[in-house]
Structure 1
């Protein structure tokens, strides 16, 4: 089941009674807090980093538009790539410390599935 992007507050400013999380059915948030994404507590920091990366990409576009020297553009591409990788590492750490840790503590099939999912995410990350 593919869920919509997570939103803790609906358009009317109310917290929804249920939320959808990847791999989970409807979950009553009043009973289960684990449905929040692992980065929930660091959301502002993640968004700040992503806005910085967005600015770097705009800068890259400007460099190309202004016909800047290839090596200068490549240097900025490398910096932008590293910045995006830093966001990925933070998200992965949050996922491991929140989602995977809670699943492992619960045990059973959910624990095995979460560990496998995290392993696949690390493998994808290493291929980039």
Structure 2
């Protein structure tokens, strides 16, 4: 808890509290997932979440460049929602999306980039 916790260590060493993530709601799509039929993905029903780790050369040993998420529910496949709050949009995690997200949300540091971004995350 102290290494990456609440005593000022959250942005030191290997810690990156802000990180880079994708929340459909935060990225502007407030109707992507939630309970009931008013949402694209209904969280009150079973679903399978598929995460794809894509490398620069599409091999297991390549450098990580993209993390994609898909949702499978009732036999229907849903791509991740679009990040409408970001100028460049996007529906997956890439270095450029993470850097743009950092600026859009006025984060005071960019630990994700400082730690080496996608390439380092994939090692």
Question: Higher relative contact order by CA 8 Å / sep ≥ 6: 1 or 2?
Answer: 2
Greater radius of gyration (CA): 1
Q: TM-score, normalised by structure 2?
A: 0.28
Q: TM-score, normalised by structure 1?
A: 0.28
Q: Which is helix-richer, 1 or 2?
A: 1
